Structure 1
Amino acid sequence: MTLRAEQVISMKLRKRANVKQYLVLTIIVLAAFCSCGCTQQSAAMEWYRQGLHFNSYDNQFEQALECFNKSLELDPQFEEAWRGKSVALYNLGRFQDALQSIDRALELDPEYAEAWYIKGEILSSSGKPDEADRCYTRAQEINPRLSRI
């Protein structure tokens, strides 16, 4: 075998090794992204649950709001966290902010009956009974079990 032929074979072997290394690295990076996404979703869910606890059981609405914000930093598409944030803001008397948060939840899921109901509550408390009634009606269209208390 000539020196030139050995060089060509050596180059081909290195190319194959580089391709294998590239594929292995690609698989590792993709696995890291997948586990990172799953971990982020789990962390977002944990922050959400903590926010629900503060919102529902302890009436610590500022702490609930912090938890929902952390959940949404991790998963901005988490409509339940937007709803929870809206309820915390509502409980703090920040109706305009609450309305913006519940509208974000409804952008993500227009068929989210509970969000329509909460929007009705916010609008009712904001002195907009006609708009509130439309939201309650929409909530009941989606889920007939929801009724105004």
Structure 2
Amino acid sequence: MGLLGPDKHSAYKKGLKKMDKGDFSGANQEFERSITFDPEFASAWCDRGVAQQNLGNEEESMRCYEKSIELDPDFIRAWHNKSALLYKMEDFKGALECMDRILDMKLKDVDRVNILNNKAMILSRTGSYTEALEYYNKALDIDPSNGVVLENKMELEEKLTK
């Protein structure tokens, strides 16, 4: 609570706690309250998208991610969540566009490796195996001992040798 009573941050924190407990409906309500206090609170929009997605409301979830991105065009988590939802909806072109947008941002090496790996996985799913291998290799250039990337690359290489 703020000095004058409930505020966007207290509602947002309550939403995060409810989401951690799996109470997505309750979390959604708290994120909505937070947005009522501040309609330009990008994190609340993004996490409301997560709650909506967990409630099975993909269309509303996408709207929340897009609103979050509109408010903060460099909000990596919102772009990543949007990409994951597009992937789930089998919009691989859209998911790849989100990955490319993230890769244009300033990222920590660990985050860049994760995004390169995700992009490679999407490319592999679309049958672009050579390009997927290139992205796995880019990730391994940054972190040669990353077990997840090594495992994904090995699985793809085994698939290609069959």
TM range (shorter): 0.5 to 0.7
Structure 2, unpaired ranges of 5+: 119-162
Query: Counterpart of 1:123?
Result: 86
CA contact (8 A) 1:47 1:70 kept: yes
CA contact (8 A) 1:86 1:102 kept: yes
Query: Counterpart of 2:30?
Result: 67
Which structure would you say has the larger RCO, counting Cα contacts within 8 Å and 6 or more residues apart? 1
**Counterpart of 1:77 in structure 2: which amino acid?**
E
Query: Counterpart of 1:58?
Result: 21
Q: Which runs of 4+ in 1 moved over 3 A?
A: none
**Counterpart of 1:104 in structure 2: which amino acid?**
K
CA contact (8 A) 1:51 1:66 kept: yes
What is the distance in 2 between the residues matched to 1:118 and 1:136? 10
Task: Tell me the alpha carbon deviations over residues 27-61 of structure 1, each in whole angstroms, 9 at most, x when there is no partner.
Answer: xxxxxxxxx9x858x61111111111111x20110
TM superposition shift of 1:98? 0.4
Which structure shows the higher helix fraction?
1
Q: 1:143 to 1:39 in 2, by over 3 A?
A: farther
Query: Counterpart of 2:132?
Result: none
TM superposition shift of 1:134? 1.1
Q: CA RMSD in A?
A: 2.0
Aligned residues: 111
**Counterpart of 1:85 in structure 2: which amino acid?**
R
Map of 1:79-98 to 2, 5 A cutoff?
79-98=42-61
Aligned-pair identity in percent equals 25
Structure 1, unpaired ranges of 5+: 1-35
**Counterpart of 1:61 in structure 2: which amino acid?**
F
